[in-house]
């Protein structure tokens, strides 16, 4: 343990690291219920997604711990799973096999740029303000999906969206879960989102026992089995994915972009808190961490789930003393063990139970708005466009495209063209061609 994780050098011990790993797992465990719920909208089997989610998360977290010695756990990311289900498979009409193919390719590309200097060039080219806007926009998009899944908002012919029937038992349960989860987060309860889901599920099951309709029920425990039906299916999606090259490129860019910068932000945030960032702002073993994340994405796609990424919830484990990869390894082992409980978790992970988690995670992601320089009109216009278009167009990739185009136009109008990296121009051309292709 000492030789592998350098516990004494990092000022930690086995007991502390294991406790930190358990804490991180509890903070992330909601993904086991939420990810199958989201990806099932693409037509995927919830049980297959659960199996892929648990195994991919376990594998990637253990890999991160051993290869990079980081206390960072990984799982299919929130936001990018919405991109997978609601944009690529929903709005754009691709099959889930084609979406998995895109995730697989983006993972391979991520592996390549993680072992070269391309990573630094891309990071330096994308304005930090746009990174914040994209993160916040995804938060709003996730929350919107949560409100929709909960039935709190519904479609309306006159106003496009409107308030749902708040008298329905399932909607009331979701509202209860939302209020409980927000209260737990405000009280800084460890693993608040997960605890909120558990409390909501328990209340729902009790109400179901007394005859309330639309409540989660425990009815599938006896049918436990590993479902690997989605494994390897990415190979059947390549032809469909590249039938429209322009759209394929935009999809790949969106997956890569969200994963790339979400991972970088998480690693830098945690690295700063535990002394892994040097005076030049470089992460110790940063390339190893990025490589571990990239391999996790490739493995996740092969197993049958959306992009695997470093989870910011890992900060919960760091908060209780996690300093080494043993924390991540512990979390990974717990994810693998969680496969045993798949029937139980899936039977109670209804929209009423998972929607509050989506909304609260969205709120957390939206806090990045505070880092945006709203007094700068160029930044404000680009950031606002990114956020609002993600929600109104119901597409993460379209929101990113609109935001970048507005950003470039604003910079040119303000006479600040010298601040634009050539890579931005290349991205703008790509986005414009994409929008033109949609009109043909």
pLDDT in tens, 292-329: 999 999 999 999 999 999 887 787 788 778 899 999 99
pLDDT tens string 250-268: 899 888 877 776 777 677 7
**What is the pLDDT confidence band of residue 213, given thresholds at 50, 70 and 90?**
confident
Token pair recorded at residue 74: 């990984």
Above 80 in pLDDT, residue 44? yes
**What is the pLDDT confidence band of residue 287, given thresholds at 50, 70 and 90?**
confident
Token pair recorded at residue 58: 């376990």
Q: How does the average pLDDT of the chain come out, rounded?
A: 87
Please give the average per-residue pLDDT across 5-13, as a whole number.
Answer: 88
Please give the average per-residue pLDDT across 33-49, as a whole number.
Answer: 93
**What is the pLDDT confidence band of residue 120, given thresholds at 50, 70 and 90?**
low
What local confidence, expressed as pLDDT, does residue 99 receive?
97
Pairing relationship of beta strands 160-163 and 153-156 according to DSSP bridges: antiparallel
Above 90 in pLDDT, residue 93? yes
What local confidence, expressed as pLDDT, does residue 2 receive?
84
Residue located via tokens 């754009």: 92
- More reliable by pLDDT, 74 or 396: 74
Beta bridge partners, 123, equal none
Kindly report the length of the chain. Answer: 440
Work out the widest C-alpha separation in the chain, in whole angstroms: 67
Beta bridge partners, 76, equal 308
Mark residue 191 as left, alpha or beta (left: phi above 0; alpha: psi -120 to 50; beta: remaining): left
Strands (E) located in 16-172 = 74-76, 153-156, 160-163
Find all residues with CB under 8 Å of 440, minimum gap 6, and list them: none
pLDDT tens string 336-381: 998 887 777 767 777 888 888 889 888 988 888 998 999 999 999 9
Q: How many other C-beta atoms are found inside a 10 Å radius of the C-beta of residue 340?
A: 11
Contact 276, 70 (CB under 8 A): yes
Contact 390, 140 (CB under 8 A): yes
Contact 292, 60 (CB under 8 A): yes
């Amino acid at each position: 343990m000492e030789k592998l994780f350098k516990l004494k050098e990092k000022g930690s011990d086995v007991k502390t690291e294991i406790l930190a790993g358990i804490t991180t797992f509890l903070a992330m465990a909601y993904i086991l219920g939420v990810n199958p719920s989201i990806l099932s909208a693409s037509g995927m089997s919830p049980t297959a997604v659960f199996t892929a989610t648990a195994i991919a998360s376990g594998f990637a977290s253990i890999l991160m711990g051993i290869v990079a010695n980081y206390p960072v756990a990984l799982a299919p990311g929130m936001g990018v799973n919405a991109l997978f289900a609601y944009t690529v498979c929903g709005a754009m009409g691709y099959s889930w096999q084609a979406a998995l193919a895109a995730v697989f390719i983006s993972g391979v590309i991520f592996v390549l740029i993680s072992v070269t200097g391309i990573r630094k060039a891309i990071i330096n080219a994308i304005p930090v303000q746009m990174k914040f806007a994209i993160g916040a926009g995804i938060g709003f998009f996730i929350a919107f999906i949560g409100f929709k899944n909960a039935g709190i908002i519904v479609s309306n012919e006159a106003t496009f969206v409107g308030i749902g029937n708040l008298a329905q038992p399932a909607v009331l349960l979701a509202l209860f879960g939302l209020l409980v989860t927000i209260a737990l987060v405000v009280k800084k309860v460890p693993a608040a989102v997960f605890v909120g889901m558990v409390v909501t599920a328990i209340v729902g099951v009790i109400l179901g026992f007394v005859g309330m309709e639309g409540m989660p029920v425990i009815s599938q425990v006896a049918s436990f089995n590993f479902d690997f039906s989605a494994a390897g299916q990415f190979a059947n999606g390549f032809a469909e994915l590249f039938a429209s090259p322009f759209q394929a490129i935009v999809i790949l860019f969106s997956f890569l972009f969200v994963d790339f910068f979400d991972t970088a932000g998480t690693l830098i945030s945690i690295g700063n808190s535990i002394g892994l960032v040097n005076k030049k702002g470089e992460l110790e073993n940063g390339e190893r961490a990025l490589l571990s994340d990239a391999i996790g994405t490739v493995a996740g796609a092969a197993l049958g789930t959306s992009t695997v990424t470093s989870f910011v919830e890992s900060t919960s484990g760091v908060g209780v003393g996690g300093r080494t990869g043993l924390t991540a390894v512990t979390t990974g082992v717990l994810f693998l063990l969680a496969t045993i409980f798949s029937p139980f978790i899936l039977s109670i992970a209804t929209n009423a139970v998972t929607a509050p988690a989506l909304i609260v995670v969205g709120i957390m992601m939206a806090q990045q708005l505070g880092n945006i320089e709203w007094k700068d009109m160029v930044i404000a216009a680009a950031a606002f466009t990114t956020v609002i278009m993600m929600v109104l167009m119901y597409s993460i990739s379209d929101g990113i495209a609109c935001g970048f185009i507005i950003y470039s136009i604003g910079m040119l109008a303000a006479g600040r063209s010298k601040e634009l990296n050539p890579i931005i121009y290349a991205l703008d051309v790509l986005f414009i061609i994409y929008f033109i292709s949609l009109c043909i």
